[in-house]
Structures are given as structure tokens and as C-alpha cells.
Structure 1
Amino acid sequence: MAPRIAVLGCGYWGSNHIRTLKSLGALYAVSDQNSDRAAGFAAEQGVLHIAADEIYTHPDVDAIVMALPPQFHAQAAIKAVRNGKDVLVEKPIALTVPDAEAAVKAAHDNGRIFMVGHVLRFHPAFEKLLDLIKAGHLGNVRYIHSHRLGLGKFHTENDALWDLAPHDLSMILAITGTEPIEVRGEGAAVLDHLSDFAHLHLRFPDNVRGHLFASRLNPYRERRLTVVGTKAMAVFDDMEQWDKKLAVYKHSIWQDNGAWASTTEEPTYVKIAQGMPLTRELQNFISCIETREEPRTDGEEAIRVLRILTAGTVAHTEPKRDTPAYG
């Protein structure tokens, strides 16, 4: 019998969890502060609607997926694990490192599974990229850069860095296997008082470098992670079709009489199995509930990501505008 999972939060991302868990046969109930919205999803999916203040103590709920505004995640997670529920918390799991640490500690103290929604760690293309790196096909990794750009998704509590960067930071940490020893951030608020774009510059041990660019004021969408190694380079481009999502470039670079020279080759596209990252993430959550194994994206990883976000956050003091900057 599949674990009985409730989804707390029926917004855009919560609705994705609802439909995916239903397809996996694990959706037991839905909940939201907006009871009409939750009741609508419950009727649509043929599951229980449980009031938001009752979800934590409901005896038939084994686990809760939390897709709330991030300022409520830590408190809700602590309440859930103290009542014996396993949790999957969407990113970011908190707005401060101490709050995140408190939530993860509460889960550990109560013997509960704590998973964070870094969904791209479960993308088949990223999994394959990680396999290539671990097998040495790229040589020693020297530089990683990611671009996550688009238009929209404006939030009242978190800026472009906190909203867009956690996925990429999770992937970068998985590749390097360690936290950065230096983080520098820069950004600017264009529309309001929160940053609409941000750059992060990361330095890891052995002088491995990383760079991240996130923007919610960009006319086109870009979802690209590039890894530069001593033998080859690889690009995970999530905007491409499945047969071109992961490309390997075996360029050659050398010194000739004191000058650098290079040759370029056409990319080799790596075959990957198709699969929906959210489905695979929730399958991992279900498996962890059943086996009590640690999730791939556990609470400790979420804290590491939060430390980087905190270190890279640039304070902005622009006053709120009465009218939009554009339009």
C-alpha cells in the first residue's frame, strides 16, 4: 500500500504535486488556507479535503508535501514532523539559515524524512551529466556556469535569486561535492524593491569556479547549465528537445610556442531516457517514506543552498514604486 500523502498549498506548484501524486496512487488529501480552492482540487481528484489547521494531526496522513510561500515553510515543517509526518518542502525551505536548521533538526529529532524540492536533481539529463563527470569523461571540472532566465514569476517575499537559483545551486553542489569557500553576489531591483536579476560568483576548493545568472526580466527563456572540464565540456539545456538536452563538446586546447591554440568539434548529443523530473522526485519521496532511507535532496543540502543564497544576497533599498516601471 502506497503511503498516504497530503499536499498543503494548492497554488501553481502545489497543483503539480497534486496531479503527479494522484497519478502515482499516493494522493490522500489536499489542504489550503483557501478552503474553496482546496475543496475544488479534492473534488477533481476524488480525495479528501482537510482543513489547513487539521492536516498536521490527521491520523491517516503519513506525509505532507508543502508548497507554501517560503516564509511559512519552516514553521509548518516543524509542526508536521513533531506530529509524526514525513515532509517534502518546496524550495526555498526557509528565508533564514537558522529557521532551516531548526526545521531539519526537528525532523531528525523526531525520526522523520525531510526532503527538499530541488526537482532538477531528478532530471534524467542531469543524472546522466553527473554520471559522465563521475566516470571522468570530462576530466577534472574547472568551471561551472548556469543561466536561468525568463519573464515573470514576481513574488512579494523572495527575489529572483531566491526564487530561481536554488535549483542550479543544488546541481552545482552535486557536481562539486563541496560547498564554496567564497561567494560574491550582485543584482538590482528594477520593478520594485526586490532584485529582478542576480549574479553569483562562486569559488570552490582546488580553484574550481562557478557562476550563476538568474533573471525574471528577460525577453526569452533560458535554462542552461555548462560544465567545463580538462577533457571536454558539457551543456545541459532544458529548453532543447530530449535528443539534444545533453551535449558534450570535445574541444582541444593547448599551448603552441607560448600562445594558446584550440580546435573545435561538433557536439555529441548523449542519449537519455525521457522522464518527468517531478514524477521521479515524488517517487524518491515515496521510496524514502517506505524504506526510511535519506532522500537524494535532504535537509542538509537545503541548508547548504540557503547558506549560499544568504551569502550572495545583495541588499537593495530602492523604494517601492506606485506604478510599474514598464507598461
Structure 2
Amino acid sequence: MSPRIGVLGCGYWGANHVRTLKGLGALAAVADIHPERAQALASEHGCLALSPDEILAHREIDALVIALPAQFHADMAIHAIENGKDVLVEKPIALTVPDAERAVKAARDAGRVFMTGHILRFNPAFERLLALVDEGTLGALRYVHAHRLGLGKFHAEFDALWDLGPHDLSMIVALTRSEPTAVHGEGSAFVDQLNDFAHLHMRFPEHVAAHLFVSRLSPYRERRLSVVGSEAMAVFDDLEPWERKVALYRHKVWDENGRWKFEQSEPEYLPVEPGMPLTRELEHFLHCIETRGTPRTDGEEAIRVLRILTAGSASGEAV
């Protein structure tokens, strides 16, 4: 029998989880602080509508997806764990590293599965990019840069970096297989006191560098992650159709008698089997519940991402 999953939080992203879990045959109940919102979603998908306290305590619910405003994630995750439930917590899992560490420790001590909603780790195009790095196709990793730009959303509790940055930071951490040794951030706020733009510059072991640029006040959308290696380069562009999402560039740069030369190549678009990242993420969560395995995006990864966000925010200057 498939694990029975409840969703705590019936906003935009919680509703996406509800629809996907329904399709996977694992949806048991929904809950929200606004009863009418939970009831409407439950009626649409044929499941129980409960209060937050009821879904936390319900004995026939095996696990919870927690998709609340981020300031409530850590405490709600701990309450769920104390009630014997595995948890998938949307990003960011907390607004401070100590809160995240409390939640992850609670899961570890109780033997519960703790997974983070770093959804792009389950995008088949990113998996193809990661395979290029792991297989050595790009040579030694040298530089990673990510751009995530668009208009909105505007949150009252956290800025563009904390809203948009976790997506790309989780991918950068996966590509580098390490945490940065140095982080510097710069931000700018125009709508209110929270940064609408942010740049992060990171240094990793083995002379690897990375850069992240996020904006919630951009006239155009961009969702691009580029990787530069010693032998080749590759790009994951999430706004491209599946057949063009991953491009391999076999550019060459070499020293000839003390002068640097280069040779450009046309992009080679690599085949990627289409797949819905949220569906694949939740299938992985179900698998971890059933096997008691460690999620690909576990709590330790979430803490690493939060450390980078915190360091970048502390070093940055908002203007």
C-alpha cells in the first residue's frame, strides 16, 4: 500500500503538491489555517479537509508535505516529526540555520525521513547536466554561473535571494560536491526594504568559482545554469523546449607560444527524456518513505544551502 500523505498549506505551491499526490494515488488529506481554502481543495480532489492540528495528529497519515510561509516551516516540521511523520518541507526550510538544524536533528533523532523541496534537482535536464560533470565530459570543473530572473513574487518576510536562490544553490552544491570556502553577496532593494536583486560570488575547493544572480524585478525571464570545465562547457536552460534544454559546447582554449587562442564550436543539444520535476520529486519522497532511504535533497543539503544564503546576506549591502 502506498504511503498516505497529507499536505499542510493550501496556497499556490501546496495546491501543486495536492494535485500531484492525487495523481500518484498517495493523497490522504489537506489542511490550512483558512478552513474554506482546505475544504475547496479537498472537495476538488476527493480527500479529507482537516485543521493543521488535526493533520499533525492524524494516525493514518504517514507523512506530510509542508508548504507554508517559510517562517513556520521548522516548527511545523518538528511537530510533524514528534507525531511520528516523515516530512517533505518546501524551500527554504527555515529562515535561520539554527532553526533548520533543530528540525533536521529532530528527524534524525526520531528516525524520520526529512526531505527538502529543491525541485530542480529532479529535473531530467539538470540530471543530464550533472552526469556530464560526473562522467568527466567537461573535464575539471572550473566555474558555474546561474541566472534566475523574473517579475515577482514579493514576500513580506524574505527577499529575492531567499526566495529564488535555493533552487540554484542546491544545483551548485550538487555540481561542486562541496560547500563554498568563501561567499560574498550584494543586493539592491527598490520596492521595499528587502532586496529585489542579489548577486552571490562563491569560492569552492579545487579552485572552483560560482556566481548566482537573482531578480524579482526583471523585465524578462531567465532560468539558466552554465558550467565551464577544462575541456568543454554546458548549459541547462529551463525555458527551452526539452530537445534544447541541455547544450554542450566543445569550445577550446589553449596556449600557443605564450599566446592564448580559442576555437568556438556550435552547441550540441543533448537528448533528455521529458519528466515533470514535481512528480519525480514526490515519487522519490514516496520511495524514501517505503525504503527508509536518505533523500537526494535531505536536511543536510538544506542546511548547506541556508549557510550560503546567510553568509551572502550578511556580507551584502542593500541600497
Q: TM-score, normalised by structure 1?
A: 0.96
- Structure 2 residue aligned with 1:323: none
Do the aligned residues in 2 keep the contact of 1:10 with 1:67 (CA within 8 Å)? yes
- Structure 1 residue aligned with 2:152: 152
- Structure 1 residue aligned with 2:216: 216
Do the aligned residues in 1 keep the contact of 2:4 with 2:27 (CA within 8 Å)? yes
Report 1:158-237 matches (<5 A): 158-237=158-237
- Secondary structure in 1 matching 2:53: coil
Q: Is residue 2:62 matched to residue 1:62?
A: yes
Unaligned runs of 5+ in 2: none
Distance 2:307 2:252 in 1: 36
Q: Deviations over 1:149-168 (max 9, x none)?
A: 00010000110000000010
Do the aligned residues in 1 keep the contact of 2:81 with 2:106 (CA within 8 Å)? yes
Do the aligned residues in 2 keep the contact of 1:195 with 1:316 (CA within 8 Å)? no
Distance 2:5 2:184 in 1: 39
Distance 2:252 2:75 in 1: 52
- Structure 2 residue aligned with 1:88: 88
Report 1:110-125 matches (<5 A): 110-125=110-125
Q: Is residue 2:40 matched to residue 1:40?
A: yes
Q: Is residue 2:267 matched to residue 1:274?
A: no
Distance 1:317 1:268 in 2: 40
Q: Deviations over 1:98-124 (max 9, x none)?
A: 000000000011110000000000000
1:207 CA drift (Å)? 1.2
Q: Deviations over 1:280-304 (max 9, x none)?
A: 0000000001000000000000000
- Structure 2 residue aligned with 1:321: none
Distance 2:76 2:260 in 1: 56
| Percent identical residues | 65
Distance 1:139 1:206 in 2: 13
Distance 2:209 2:93 in 1: 26
Distance 2:141 2:165 in 1: 21
Q: Deviations over 1:176-217 (max 9, x none)?
A: 101000000001111100000100000001110000000001
Distance 2:139 2:147 in 1: 23
1:257 CA drift (Å)? 2.8
Do the aligned residues in 1 keep the contact of 2:187 with 2:318 (CA within 8 Å)? no
Distance 2:252 2:226 in 1: 17
Letter in 2 for 1:142: R
1:256 CA drift (Å)? 2.3
Distance 2:208 2:59 in 1: 49
Report 1:242-281 matches (<5 A): 242-281=242-281
Letter in 2 for 1:221: R
Distance 1:53 1:280 in 2: 29
How has the CA–CA distance of structure 1 residues 17 and 149 changed in structure 2, closer, same or farther, with 3 Å as cutoff? same
Report 1:98-109 matches (<5 A): 98-109=98-109
Distance 1:177 1:154 in 2: 31
Structure 1 range deviating more: 39-48 or 52-61: 52-61
Distance 2:270 2:85 in 1: 40
- Secondary structure in 2 matching 1:55: helix
**Structure with the higher fraction of residues in helix conformation:** 2
1:230 CA drift (Å)? 0.5
- Structure 2 residue aligned with 1:15: 15
- Secondary structure in 2 matching 1:174: helix
Letter in 2 for 1:114: F
Distance 1:160 1:178 in 2: 24
- Secondary structure in 1 matching 2:282: helix
- Secondary structure in 1 matching 2:56: coil
- Structure 2 residue aligned with 1:324: none
- Secondary structure in 1 matching 2:59: coil
Do the aligned residues in 2 keep the contact of 1:144 with 1:226 (CA within 8 Å)? yes
1:14 CA drift (Å)? 0.5
- Structure 2 residue aligned with 1:285: 285
Do the aligned residues in 2 keep the contact of 1:140 with 1:229 (CA within 8 Å)? yes
Q: Deviations over 1:73-110 (max 9, x none)?
A: 00000000011000000000000000000000000111
